[in-house]
Amino acid sequence: MEYSSNDICVIGIAGGSASGKTTIIEKLKQKFKDEIVLISHDYYYWCNDHLSMEERVKLNYDHPKSFETDKLIEDLKSLKEGKIVDLPIYDFTIHTRKKETLRVYPRPVIIVEGILILENKELRDLMDIKVYVDTDADERLIRRLLRDTKERGRSVDSVLTQYIKTVKPMHEEFVEPSKKHADIIIPRGAENKPAMNILIQHLKTLLK
């Protein structure tokens, strides 16, 4: 099926690292099924093939300049125009992009997810709904620790060191202030059923 920009709704879901964005997205996928396509800002970390692994590990991955956001904006515009797009794929185990790409097709709902997606005005302006997932810092740290050690092969020491050096200060400088741009703020993430119901109903209205 072909879609025009008038048929497509873009939702931005932001929030701190491990705030529960993925759980909310899964809830929306269950509700809207094949109507949704997901684009993660994490896909657009710069390719670091020119750096050694030791150098890659030391990079600040929580600063806006860590992302090729212009490419994300370009791909999002193409999807809104009804075009097929090949997205980059980032491999967190080696801190660079894979050779393969991910082909995605336009859908009525495009979800853009990431910690810094509300920090960029040009990207924000492409969104019909802007959501910020607001979760306690201790809870986010615990979730990040479990995720990065289990799914990304990281050591506990490396996760904590990165959190202290870059994740926490970048959250305070860039992520938390971007909350003011949100249309809907969801405390406690997907556990907040009233807020989830508001988001789902608003999305249904937009799709009509």
pLDDT digits (tens, 9 = 90+) for 115-164: 999 999 999 999 999 999 999 999 999 999 999 898 888 899 999 999 99
Please report the domains of the chain, with CATH numbers, ordered by start residue.
7-207 (3.40.50.300)
In whole angstroms, what separates CA 83 from the centre of its chain?
Answer: 21
Measured distance CA(200)–CA(77) in Å, rounded = 24
Give the chain's mean pLDDT.
93
pLDDT at residue 157, rounded to an integer: 94
Measured distance CA(39)–CA(131) in Å, rounded = 15
pLDDT in tens, 6-33: 789 999 999 999 999 999 999 999 999 8
Q: Is the pLDDT of residue 4 over 70?
A: no
Decide: residue 64, CB within 10 A, 0-12 exposed, 13-18 middle, 19+ buried.
Answer: middle
In whole angstroms, what separates CA 91 from the centre of its chain?
Answer: 15
Q: What is the pTM of this model?
A: 0.90
Measured distance CA(184)–CA(199) in Å, rounded = 8
Please report how the helices 193-207 and 21-32 are oriented relative to each other, as an axis angle in degrees rounded to 10: 50
Mean pLDDT (whole number) for 30-53: 94
pLDDT at residue 93, rounded to an integer: 86
Q: For residue 40, what are the β-bridge partners?
A: 113
Measured distance CA(77)–CA(125) in Å, rounded = 11
Q: Is the pLDDT of residue 185 over 70?
A: yes
Which of 151, 72, 66, 156 lies closest to 113 in space, CA to CA?
Answer: 72
pLDDT at residue 2, rounded to an integer: 63
* Tokens describing residue 100: 């393969």
Torsion of CA 70, 117, 183, 171, to 10 degrees: -150
